[in-house]
Amino acid sequence: MGAYLRNYRLNRAMALLRTTKGSIAGIAEEAGFGSPQAFCRTFKNEIGQSPRQYRLKA
């Protein structure tokens, strides 16, 4: 269940990074992460790049 929820949150965050200009902190909150730091750490570990890098390439 934990992996499913993490995957769901990451996919939601990736969609928001591609389609909005919201702050990283705002996206972390909207996607359901406890803090921007936890979001950035999880994103980098799972996706291989920071949310900011992902946004620039999207």
Domain containing residue 46: CATH number = 1.10.10.60
At 52 the pLDDT is 97
Work out the percent of the chain whose per-residue pLDDT is above 70.
100
- Residue 45 structure tokens: 């570990």
Q: How many domains does the chain have?
A: 1
Is the pLDDT at 1 greater than 90? The verdict is no
At 58 the pLDDT is 81
| 48: containing domain | 2-57
pLDDT digits (tens, 9 = 90+) for 8-19: 999 999 999 999
pTM, two decimals, is 0.92
